[in-house]
Amino acid sequence: MRGGLTSGRYGTSRVYMWAYPPKSRGKMQLRTALLVAGSLVLLALPIAFAAEAATPLFSKVFAAAIAFAAAVLASGFAISRAGSAGLAAAAERPEVRTVAIIIAAFGEALAIYGIAIAFFILGAE
């Protein structure tokens, strides 16, 4: 079965989930990431060609926006992976809950670093 609505039995409750084989889920995530990256490149092309007419302020704001957007995307990816793994680990062993929260906080720090870099870019002479 390629993918579809399946049921599984865990304990006494019946769970329904959208099931894809693990390899096809990874391919789907890769396709989605490539689609988003390609869309961003296509949206940025007119801005890149108009860079000759751009003011220095526009260049700073655009660079700060790219820095912050990349940091937030990476932070969201890190939090999603670390958070789900941390919750799964805490369900099996409750004593690792604090460590899981600390690891997820490292992912959140990426966004803070991104906004700090964006402010440094905007504040540069």
Sequential pLDDT tens for the chain (125 residues): 454 555 555 554 444 455 545 555 556 677 777 777 777 777 776 766 665 666 778 788 888 988 898 899 889 888 888 888 998 998 999 899 999 999 889 989 999 999 999 999 999 87
Look at residue 1 and tell me if it is in a domain: no
- Domain with residue 115: its CATH number is 1.20.20.10
Q: Judge if pTM exceeds 0.85.
A: no
Look at residue 83 and tell me if it is in a domain: yes
Range of the domain at 75: 54-123
Look at residue 4 and tell me if it is in a domain: no
Question: What whole-number distance in Å separates Cα of residue 71 and Cα of residue 77?
Answer: 10
Q: How many domains does the chain have?
A: 1
User: Could you tell me the CA-to-CA distances from 8 to 13, 19, 79, 84 in Å, in that order?
Assistant: 9, 10, 28, 20
Nearest to 75 by CA among 65, 87, 83, 64: 83
Question: What whole-number distance in Å separates Cα of residue 41 and Cα of residue 34?
Answer: 10
What pLDDT, on the 0 to 100 scale, is given for residue 1?
A: 47
Amino acid sitting at position 106 = F
